[in-house]
Amino acid sequence: MMYGRGLRGLALATAFTITVAFALVFFYAPLDANQGFIQKIFYIHVPLAITALCGFVFGGVLGAIHLRTGDRKWDIRSYVAIHMALIFGVGTLFTGTIWAKASWGHWWVWSDPTLTSFLIVMLLFATYQPLRFSIEDPERQSRYASVFAIVCGAFVPLNFLAVRLAQAYVHPRVLTLTGGNLPGSMRLTLLVSMVGIALLYVTLWKYEMAAKSTRMQVRALRRLLLGEDSVAPPKRSAAPS
Amino acid sequence: MREGSREEQTPGTWRTAGAVLRKDLLLELRGLDTLPAMVLFAIVTFVIFHFGLNQATIAGQEAAGVLTVTLLFAAMLGINRLFVAEREQGGFDAFLLAPVDRSALLIAKATALFLFLVVLEVVAVPAFGLLLLGPSLGPRLPGLIAVLALGDVAFAVIGTLVSAIAVQTRARDLIGPIIGLPLLLPALIAVARGAGPLLAAQGSGSPPGKWVAILALYDVVFALLSYAVFDFLLED
Amino acid sequence: MDPHPAIELRGLVRHFGERTVLRQVSVSVPAGATLAVLGRNGAGKSTLLRILATLLRPHAGEVSVLGEPLPRQAWAVRGRLGLLAHEPLLYRDLSGRENLGYHARLHGIAPRRVEDVLDAVGMRERADEPVRQLSRGMVQRLAICRTILHSPRVLLLDEPLANLDPAATELVAPLIGRASGATRVLTSHDPRAALAEADLVLGLEGGRAAFVTSPDRVEPAALERLYA
């Protein structure tokens, strides 16, 4: 599959949307009375978080397709999806810490259940690469990684549900992001930012898939033209090859 | 190329699971290496908590937390050892060569782990009542048993799945806990929060229904998920 | 006499990551015949046996055992195969009798059969000792018991006579030798012994079938090249 096709258009769209989002954040969205300027990091933090979580679930779906079809290219897609989501997740935690410092006591902050759930999910997916790395047989590595992706992908919504149910009785706070609690200007900015970050994820995913796919094709061609021994066997790695 | 559709779950599945379970219980009775270690670990941990918390007795949510965490870590010991004999002595091949439904292995191992946890708790919970718990254990026992039983199902199902994954890796003793503990966190939360009110000084006899429901849901979902993916862990 | 071949391989391919372990291997084994697979360590002999045993899936090509295509119908044919591998597949802490009892239950075989096979290999007296206390020859005999417990029609034997003294070798001959009547695929480090037993010979070199002939038509030069 040619992952490079449409990549330029996608990258341009991403760059455009993110630029617009930044403009909105800096010039359009209202300044928060309590937290001041630092609150604006919310417009990056929330989209990063949602994209990361969706990325993990997406990785699980791709893993399920891999097990169903037995075609290893789905495993590579699943790997890239999860690995990108991990990066976005780290970004979430980073921006979240900055924001938490500034948002002490603010009423529409991410309250505990969400933070806890997110942390649990990150701790879980942080084991994905060590798991892959510790299985040497490449086929088994792919299969086990897909099982992991499915189970942990299913875990993401369950985890949020369970932890949210836990807090619902203790803190009867209705925390809706796109509900009446957000003024219109903030909602718009958040939406544009969300679209921008989501596009960024897809672009990066396609980009990495293109790079991996090209590398594999080059190896296959070398093996075909120059013989089996011209290509050194890949070192033990977490990434599928 | 995949193997064709799995043959329907015949009565043979349960009989096969029974044969595997019986073999595992026999092996444990013969070798006695897992269960005594789990029990000993739990008791030692209670003592450590006593000194770590520097309190004569504990009650309520604190007590529930200590008990649940200790049982979880003791369960990890069992989980790590669950498939080791299969891996090292060719047990996987022996099972895979037989004309049986492969899910029977999942059922047998999860049942074995569940039974180990029950035996663990039969010793560890009274020990906890003796060493650490302030309020008396007796009247709270039925509610506590219900919560622990549901928690054990979660530990058993997820533990078996994680153990099957970990046993084929190089770092098997490490991979098991690092994957298993986050996956078990919601179950841990539910057990601890369910037991908390029970162990409080003025505690009621019945556990809060919400937590029991969450645990039951968790058990069902992960049992189904494990059943769906387990075959892929065995085939080559 | 069944006219269909008991084992049929056509263009079998199996990879390990980017390395190809079996490359376009084709051979047809008639029912009741013995195929000897010769080759160096790493030539693919054990992989071939494991594919026939339904433990590994073929990556390309066609495999059919007893008329059933693998891996699709693997479940249908599993109970009629017997694999004797490098590992005995016995639990060291259980006795021979307990191990065989477990296998009997897995295969749905009556417990009496366990006693019969223990008798046949002369292990009746020591059947209650844990396997870890037995000598290698005895463990091999128990492994042979495990292999034939369910009276398989196809025997897959990886170095079957390893660790057996001449007396034991004679004891097991009717069980896993030609006299058993089963279709057999066997590998051996000793090409001459294998050739003596075989009706058909497959020489594997680097995963490729170097030759497939009857034993009397094997060229000495080709044989030497295999083990060079």
User: If you count residue pairs, one on B and one on C, with CB atoms under 8 Å apart, how many are there?
Assistant: 91
pLDDT score for A29? 74
Q: How far is A221 from chain C (nearest CA, A)?
A: 13
Give every CB contact of residue C25 below 8 A, 6+ residues apart in sequence.
Answer: C9, C11, C12, C13, C44, C48, C61, C202, C204, C207, C208, C209
Instruction: Report the candidate in C139, C146, C174 with the shortest Cα–Cα distance to residue B97.
Output: C146
Q: Show me where the domains of chain A are located.
A: 7-28+40-227
Q: Which of C72, C73, C91 lies nearest to residue B89, judging by beta carbons?
A: C91
Assess if residue B191 is contained within a domain. Answer: yes
Res. B9: pLDDT tops 70: no
> Is residue C72 over pLDDT 90?
no
Residue C2: the pLDDT is 62
**Residue that wins the pLDDT comparison between A111 and C154:** C154
Q: What are the DSSP calls for A19-44, one per residue?
A: HHHHHIIIIISPPBTTTBGGGGGHHH
Query: Would you state the pLDDT for residue B138?
Result: 81
Residue B71 lies in a domain: yes
The verdict on a CB contact (< 8 Å) between C18 and A137 is: no
Task: Work out how many CB contacts closer than 8 A connect A with B.
Answer: 78
Mutation for testing the A interface, residue in B3, B102, B161, B185 having most A CBs under 10 Å: B185
Query: Does the beta-carbon distance from B99 to C73 stay under 8 Å?
Result: no
Measured in angstroms, the CA of C166 and the nearest CA of chain B are apart by 27
Q: Which helix (H) or strand (E) holds C65?
A: strand C60-65
| Mean pLDDT of chain C, nearest integer | 90
Q: What's the average model confidence in pLDDT over A159-179? A: 55
Identify whether B4 is part of a domain. no
- Please check whether residue B209 touches C, CB under 8 A: no
* Residue B58 β-bridge partners: B133
**Would you mind telling me the total number of residues written for chain A in this entry?**
241
Comparing B72 with B61, the larger pLDDT belongs to B72
Kindly tell me if the per-residue pLDDT of B74 is higher than 90. Answer: yes
What is the reported pLDDT for A241? Answer: 66
Give residue B11's pLDDT band: very low, low, confident or very high (50, 70, 90).
very low
Amino acid code (one letter) for C218: V
When pLDDT is averaged across residues B134-153 and rounded to a whole number, the result is: 88
Looking at the domain assignment, is residue B12 inside a domain?
A: no
**Residue corresponding to tokens 């029609």:** C153
Does the beta carbon of A237 lie under 8 angstroms from any beta carbon of chain B? no
| Rounded percentage of chain B residues whose pLDDT exceeds 90 | 61
CB contact under 8 A, A131 and B170: no
In chain A, residues with a C-beta closer than 8 Å to the C-beta of C17 are 137-139, 233-234, 241
Chains in touch with B (3+ beta-carbon pairs under 8 Å) read: A, C
DSSP states of B188-208 as a string? HHHHHHHHHHHHSTT--SS--
pLDDT confidence of residue A229: 66
pLDDT value of residue A167: 64
Residue B5 binned pLDDT confidence (cut-offs 50, 70, 90): very low
Output C121 or A107, whichever has higher pLDDT: C121
Indicate the average pLDDT of chain A: 81
Give the three-state DSSP class for A172. Answer: coil
Query: Which of helix, strand or coil describes residue C204?
Result: strand
Q: Is the pLDDT of residue C224 over 80?
A: yes
- Split into its structural domains, chain C has a count of 1
Q: Contacts of residue C56 in chain B, CB cutoff 8 Å?
A: 236
Work out the minimum CA distance from B42 to partner chain C, whole angstroms: 26
Any CB–CB contact under 8 A between B30 and chain C? yes
Residues from chain B that touch A67, judged by Cβ atoms under 8 A, are 229, 232
Q: Domain limits at B55?
A: 29-234
For residue A147, the distance in angstroms to the closest alpha carbon of chain C comes to 19
Q: Which residues of B165-192 are buried (b: 16+ CB within 10 A; e: fewer)?
A: bbbbbeebeebbbbbbbbbbbbbbbbbb
Q: How confident is the model at residue B34 (pLDDT cuts 50, 70, 90)?
A: very high
Please report the pLDDT score of residue B1 as a whole number: 41
Q: Kindly state whether A170 is in contact with chain B, defined as any CB-CB distance less than 8 angstroms.
A: no
Among the ranges given (A112-121, B171-180, C65-74), the one the predictor scored with the smallest mean pLDDT: A112-121
Q: Is residue B1 part of a domain?
A: no
Residue C215 C-alpha, separation from nearest chain B C-alpha, in angstroms: 30
Looking at residue A170, its pLDDT comes to 41
Instruction: Quote the pLDDT of residue B158.
Output: 95
For chain A, which chains pass the contact test of at least 3 CB pairs under 8 Å?
A: B, C
Q: pLDDT confidence of B32, banded at 50, 70, 90?
A: confident
Residue of C nearest to B87 (CA): C89
Tokens found for residue A62: 């791709």
Q: What is the pLDDT of residues B171-230, one digit of tens each?
A: 888 899 999 999 998 899 889 988 988 888 776 677 788 888 889 989 999 999 999 999
Nearest to B6 by CA among B157, B224, B228, B221: B228
- Is the CB of B97 inside 8 Å of chain A's CB atoms? no
- Tell whether B1 is within 8 A of chain A (Cβ): yes
If one counts every other C-beta atom within 10 angstroms of the C-beta of residue B11, the result is 7
Tokens at residue A89, please?
Answer: 């997740």
Please, which chains are in contact with C (at least 3 CB pairs closer than 8 A)?
A: A, B
Say which amino acid occupies B41: F
Residue B51 covered by a domain: yes
Asked if C80 contacts C152 with a C-beta cutoff of 8 angstroms, the reply is yes
Q: What is the pLDDT of residue A21?
A: 85
pLDDT in tens, A127-156: 999 999 999 888 899 999 999 999 999 999
Range of the domain at C15: 5-227
Task: Give yes or no for A187 touching C (CB within 8 A).
Answer: no
User: Per the structure, how many domains does chain B have?
Assistant: 1
Q: Establish if B141 touches chain C: CB-CB under 8 angstroms.
A: no
Amino acid identity, position B235: E
pLDDT at A9: 86
Given CB atoms, is B1 within the 8 Å cutoff of chain C?
yes
